[in-house]
Amino acid sequence: MKVKRVVIIGALVFVVLVSVLGGAISDRLFGFKPLDFLVKRQTDGFRVNSLEQKILNEESIVISVAEEVSPSVVTVSIKTPQRSVLQYDLFGGLRRRVEGGVEQDIGTGFIISEDGLIVTNKHVVSDSESSYKVVTKDDEEYDVKQISRDPLNDLAILKVDANGLKPASLGDSGNLKVGQFVVAIGTALGEFRHTVTTGVISGLGRGITAGDPFEGSFERLDDVIQTDAAINPGNSGGPLLNSAGQVIGVNVAVAQSAQNIGFAIPINVVKKALDQFNKTGKFLSKPFLGVQYQTIPKDTAILNNVPEGAYIVEVVPDSPAEKAGVKAGDIVTKIDGEELGENKELSDVIGSKVSGNIVSLDIWRDGQTLNLSATLSEFSE
């Protein structure tokens, strides 16, 4: 009787071992998951089903954002004036060739009002002699009737004659975090309309020199968002979006010497500019001093026995600087008491002023320090 009981127990143990081993084999070879009822599956400390759920959630977010916002994103196209030029041919002598007159996609924008206001970058629409149009997701085309350019922030407002357009929702860039998930939509390389890319916020408060190879214009921008979401030439002016589908930035530039480094103007900067535009019908004017300069850093100053500051290369005729008595060869050491050098350039200080301000300039000239006053004017393109 005792032997019989031992045999029965041994048989039960064998059955359990076979079941466990069989479950493990079927789990690995065929993807069955019978063991999940007994033991929680672990992969690097996370349950696989949790990881799968996370991937599905992320996919759903991207799809939802793309479907929601794409109708608010437009492609910006340019048509340059047609002109006739003479070209020398080695075999046929002088020949006349026609240039221009062909439309080309050059950038992106997004709708901010039902009646046809669209935000893009200023450098996308910088050619005042050309005509522009925008193309929506469903291939509706609208001629741009009016362009208002913001000289401070590389922004522009386009006006088209339309009704019933779908505006994008503007978010808040004041509480962004490094690592935050983002989506970009735009006309990549001026060829692939409504390209959707994803990434994270890689950095905040960056300073860059922005531009676009299609237009060839460049300018300095500060306090921009850095992202690893793929941003290519042609994406300029398009929206950078959070997971709720709100615009948190305007894509503006890409680092040419690196991969996955793009930049966007924070949407709060855009909203502030829009408030001014809505109140007055124009953007804040850019203050203008009227000098071309080179910054003298500390090491160079010591070697040449001159002070740090902004070395004036050229003074614009009839500018505030010329009227104040500034001359080529001067070194501006201070503006309103703020010392200039490699950590604070002349353009930084002037950019913080507004047209009409009277600024005090400390000038080093031929070993002597002079104090001059200049009234800043409004920058005119």
35 band by pLDDT with thresholds 50, 70 and 90 = very low
181-280 matches 72-160 in CATH topology: yes
Q: Is pLDDT of 116 > 60? A: yes
| pLDDT at res. 256 | 62
Q: Is pLDDT of 55 > 70? A: no
User: For 284-308, what is each residue's pLDDT tens digit?
Assistant: 667 889 888 888 988 888 888 999 9
| pLDDT at res. 254 | 72
Residue 288 CA: distances (Å) to CA of 165, 339, 357: 38, 19, 10
375 band by pLDDT with thresholds 50, 70 and 90 = very high
72 band by pLDDT with thresholds 50, 70 and 90 = very high
Q: How confident is the prediction for the chain on average, in pLDDT?
A: 79
Beta strands in 291-354 (DSSP E): 291-296, 309-315, 331-335, 338-339
**Domain made up of 287-378: CATH architecture:** Roll (2.30)
| pLDDT at res. 38 | 45
- 362 is an active site residue: no
CB-based contact 201:176 (threshold 8 Å)? yes
Determine the residue type at 161.
D
Phi then psi for 278, rounded to 5 degrees? -65, -30
Better-scored residue on pLDDT, 24 or 221: 221
CATH class of 181-280: mainly beta
Residue 137 CA: distances (Å) to CA of 50, 68, 101, 250: 35, 12, 24, 18
Does the pTM exceed 0.75?
A: no
Task: Give the whole-number percent of the chain exceeding pLDDT 90.
Answer: 35
| pLDDT at res. 85 | 61
CATH class of 72-160: mainly beta
CA gap 108, 193 in Å, rounded: 9
CA gap 263, 208 in Å, rounded: 8
User: For 162-219, what is each residue's pLDDT tens digit?
Assistant: 999 999 999 998 888 999 999 999 998 888 898 999 999 988 877 766 544 444 444 5
* Of 77-86, 88-97, 255-264, minimum mean pLDDT range: 88-97
- Per-residue pLDDT, averaged over 120-127, amounts to 89
| pLDDT at res. 133 | 94
* Secondary element (H or E) of residue 320: helix 320-324
- In sequence order, what are the beta bridge partners of 15? none
| pLDDT at res. 217 | 44
Give the number of C-alpha atoms closer than 13 A to the C-alpha of residue 175, restricted to the C-beta side.
Answer: 2
Q: Is pLDDT of 40 > 60? A: no
| pLDDT at res. 32 | 46
- Write down the catalytic residue from 72, 236, 330, 362: 236
- Write down the catalytic residue from 72, 77, 123, 212: 123
- Write down the catalytic residue from 72, 77, 105, 154: 154
- 123 is an active site residue: yes
- Per-residue pLDDT, averaged over 24-38, amounts to 48
Determine the residue type at 48.
V
Q: Where are the domains of the chain?
A: 72-160, 181-280, 287-378
270 band by pLDDT with thresholds 50, 70 and 90 = confident
Beta strands in 53-140 (DSSP E): 73-79, 83-89, 93-99, 103-111, 117-120, 131-135
